[in-house]
Structure 1
């Protein structure tokens, strides 16, 4: 018998029944999908994603089979992210070396240059800014740093001490020095060895002991007072002075 809308009540009931069946299937499918996603999520958290894959897990679950997953890259990426989060910026503490004591001269240990003569003499190396006092048997009795000319006007060769003065004044008249031992006649003035000059205007030495080993003079070779006394005593007029570059 026709129903209200031109179909039999039985047909309508079958239609409704089919719709309900489809709804149940869709609902069950949704439950299955949700359940699959839940299992995949838990498996991913606990490292068991491989056990949740298979024919019963739909592709929509978001879990790839083990053959398609690059576990190494994932783990390395996780390690890098963890390192970035836990380590943070590296703090580097820079420790600066203490400044040199201006009252302490550096220690010279270089050996006597080869080809620097023989017998009782004084050897001066322009390159190393070092002096050696040598005895007649070629024994080095003293080695020390000096400060030669910053203009580098002294030639190499063998010269002789031609004069000595216990006290002297610089060619420009603004400095005094002691234990002068001259061995080379320069264009403006004679060149020799002496102690650290003292400025007449201030009464202080023009350089520190720690600066020995650096060329700083106008022409002569500056020495620590003790070394100047030692060279003064080691030489006499006629003593050879050998100037070299190494």
Structure 2
């Protein structure tokens, strides 16, 4: 009698354990726990970055090819800190297709033939009084250029006049000899350079595409 009771109890315990395991598997299948990852699950996209660079007055071998530069997505924290409100094209900046640089506002406009701005953005011109208001013309371009004093390098140099020490033009924010940008994006809109006009890399690429040799450049006070 005792042996029969023991056997029946063993069978009941085994049956209960099997039921518990089966129930757990069913619940797991319903809520997705313990099973393989769903093939429809969302995977976060990899982070992207933007290579940047910085500036000073410069000289560099001319490269007048109209190279097309693919725009890059700007995902830097600074990209949401600037006031991007466009300013009106200066009324005293002439007519036709041109690049306009206003020294008071530290702002650039890329103006189409119809007089409308294709793009406008803050820049950093020279801290020195080395540029007179007037009409100029792009005469040389270099995709890579260097400061005349060896202090750094910059990209997308578009020259339109000559200063005391070197050419004056538009380029991206230069990089010093230790690989650091010489100013922040937040400082654009204020005079910071030693001769040229510094631009954020995306803006520098846009001007590079817009202004081949022969393009009119108008500087306003």
* Same fold flag (TM > 0.5): yes
Query: Which 4+ runs in 1 deviate beyond 6 A?
Result: none
More helix, by proportion: 1
Match of 1:113 in 2: 90
CA RMSD of the aligned region, Å? 1.2
Q: Deviations over 1:185-218 (max 9, x none)?
A: 1111000000000001x20100000000010000
| CA shift for structure 1 position 102 | 5.1
> What 5-or-longer segments of structure 1 have no aligned partner?
1-100
Question: TM-score, normalized by length of structure 2?
Answer: 0.63
CA distance, structure 2, for counterparts of residue 159 and residue 193 of structure 1? 13
Distance in 2 (CA, whole Å) between partners of 1:131 and 1:141 is 11
Are residue 232 (structure 1) and residue 198 (structure 2) matched?
no
TM score, norm. by length of structure 1: 0.57
Give unmatched runs, 5+ long, in structure 2.
Answer: 1-76
Aligned runs of 1:58-97 on 2, under 5 Å? none
Match of residue 159 from structure 1: 136
In 2: Cα distance, 1:107 partner to 1:212 partner: 11
User: 1:173 matched to which residue of 2?
Assistant: 150
Aligned length: 144
Q: Distance in 2 between matches of 1:157 and 1:178?
A: 25
Partner of 1:221: 197
Q: Is the 8 A contact 1:197 1:205 kept in 2?
A: yes
Query: For residue 20 of structure 2, what is the aligned residue in structure 1?
Result: none
More contact order relative to length (CA 8 Å, sep ≥ 6): 2
Question: 2:164 matched to 1:187?
Answer: yes
Partner secondary structure for residue 213 of structure 1: coil
